[in-house]
Amino acid sequence: MKAIFIAYNQAYNQEIVDLLEGLGQRGYTVWQEIGGRGSVDGEPHLGNHAWPTQNHALFSVVEDSLVAPIMNHLRDTDQANAKLGLRAYVLPVEEAL
């Protein structure tokens, strides 16, 4: 099993959730209205008057077979809308309860 952490512009929330559910992934946790700034060239998403956009983050533990389909879709979405700052990370899961 793997964990996928996804940070994304709040406008993507339904698309991200639909992606997971469309692949049969039921479980996830979402953090809403979080701020941040990308390390490359994205604009800050801080929820203030100067940078009003905010991010969400999602964490899901998935079967290994779902990692590639999820990451491929996220990669395509990010390339189509690079300024919106979608980032995803795959992490090993050593134990789950």
Stated length of the chain: 97
The reported pLDDT for the residue numbered 83 is: 72
Please give the single-letter amino acid code of residue 86.
Answer: L
The reported pLDDT for the residue numbered 82 is: 77
pLDDT mean for each 10 residues of the chain (97 residues): 95 92 95 83 79 90 96 92 86 93
How far, in Å, CA of 7 to CA of 87, rounded?
5
Would you give the end-to-end CA distance of the chain in angstroms? 12
Please give the single-letter amino acid code of residue 64.
Answer: D
Note whether 19 and 68 are within 8 A (CB): no
Q: Is the pTM of this model over 0.85?
A: yes
Instruction: Show the tokens assigned to 48.
Output: 């203030």
The residues pairing with 56 across neighbouring beta strands, listed in sequence order, are 8
The reported pLDDT for the residue numbered 5 is: 98
The structural domains of the chain, ordered by start, are 2-92 (3.30.70.120)
